[in-house]
Structure 1
């Protein structure tokens, strides 16, 4: 799947770039084209690991703009049909910043009929809109069009379009180090309004627990069975859920098993999670859950399987870090008041921060994501497009 194309219509090596200017030309965007691009993107049905149509759309636009791009093979182990798309604005030069959006939607947008009412784009109500995260893709594509038109006015940057974010940040995790060289960047994937950004997230551990007993006929010889449901109840009795303290929450959200009403349940599966702003506490609680499951299984004469996985590590962005002070200055230049937020979910920013790349997830205003009521204001897409341009063109 590894592919690359370098079809630049001009030479980045023969022109001086990043000649900062007060001209408004480099901050001017074509709102109609931004909306048109967004509408085209959301009408492409491409869920996680089936993102080839969206990636092809982006690749074709890069070729038209004469920009250098690489598509990696990161999706191959997952059976995906398209990898991460990496666009380098000034190949051969060290990138100053990176920007990221993901190409998948959490649910299909097949037969989507978008409508615009009072400056807000919605679906007809039968599907999601797909603003999460096609709005981010449309914004970054619009920025790339501006860079291609005024290459001297912007510093080198990387634009990353990741695959399968919705399944568990697969694309960001698969990204090779050589394809992300900038040390700082911004992810356009928060549903918060413009001005707000994610400054802190918890770490997240997924739990997959199976209590294994012994099936038997419940009406004839139940004493020959080992009831896995009783084992699960015993485990859950001492597994704390809900808000445990200021740092940590836990949940068991799926419980399944059993074969029939007249069979002693031989296997019960439980899926859950623990999230904590304290990684040490998170690991301790995962170990305690595993020990508890083993103790319960032994006492009942059964067995158990316990799997855990750190889906993402949390991060905290200090307001004095350059990645944050730059964002604050750019926001204020556009009359946005910066508002740091704590968010309990994850994004590609978690992967980047865990790898030493300081990244902030910026609010783009996509409201009610993952639902048929999802919508986004055109004005919010416009201001975030200008914000990205300001981050690049401003001297912060």
Structure 2
């Protein structure tokens, strides 16, 4: 048994409360269980309890055993001086405050039904992937859909944290934030961090000034990546290199190679050379990109905005000096879907949150228009009968697996608590 099960029992009063007594046989009446804040200090704050004939207001601490009070050294911590009741599964020691007054103890094991214990043991039985994998299909649609909305919001909140940090780092320039986030996601998992470093190393005001010539944007991106630090014979390479050094001089930027790029194990269409050229063309084709993407609400509008390909040189190259069969190399719908999921929805959420505007429902609608992600976690949920029809569902399931299932937070999960009730 874990303490979080006792937290669940106390928070939702999932035990017989009609004839509660302390270990000293004083009657207990729970008026208010207190606030479960999950912060440092006692587990429940501002509870109201009648013990004997005395009404108390204060905090409640919960442990598996009474002696855990001393194991955790609460007797030395002033934060626990206002504990009015010690709730435990097993009472094995008397507990005293600093002034030697005894803290009343409620031993829960006498008041919890066998059904509740059986449900808990069933839920927390050894898992092969997640604890409730055999019971997932028992959850009613209403509970699951409401929980997915909460999970989706939690995932957006988590994604918004690094975006907010980037906003502060980039002098609160939202256009620069978008430029960096798009760069990161154009780089995918392998080159994402390198692309981000490339983007943050180029002051965005230079992109604003130079976006009339796509070759200048390419020169800056390829130069910062280190791809121009070698000698090549073809004219396109020589032109990019000339432009890069000219721009360094023009804007008094220090020459530096930000991060090495990975080609290994990539499909050719995902080579960093191709993604950098596509990224450059996006900023060449779409001026005022930030304002466009902050007001868009439909996926089809985003597909139109991000309808970009590569420069003519890259139509028959994947690397410098190595020709290949001609191909337009346009951004695919599946790639744009990833950009919507990982860039556009999170930055819209963060931007409007800073404006104190609520766009959560709009973002749910947008994510419902985007195809579901395809990865090992989503495939595993599918094998248990939990199918995903859109990105809203897959994002919620990823949050569920990573933040609840992997961390054993079953009793903080709507699915886990629903299974315990049943």
User: TM-score, normalised on structure 1?
Assistant: 0.25
Larger CA Rg, structure 1 vs 2? 2
Point out the structure with the larger helix share. Answer: 2
Point out the structure with the larger strand share. Answer: 1
Higher relative contact order by CA 8 Å / sep ≥ 6: 1 or 2?
A: 1
User: TM-score, normalised on structure 2?
Assistant: 0.24
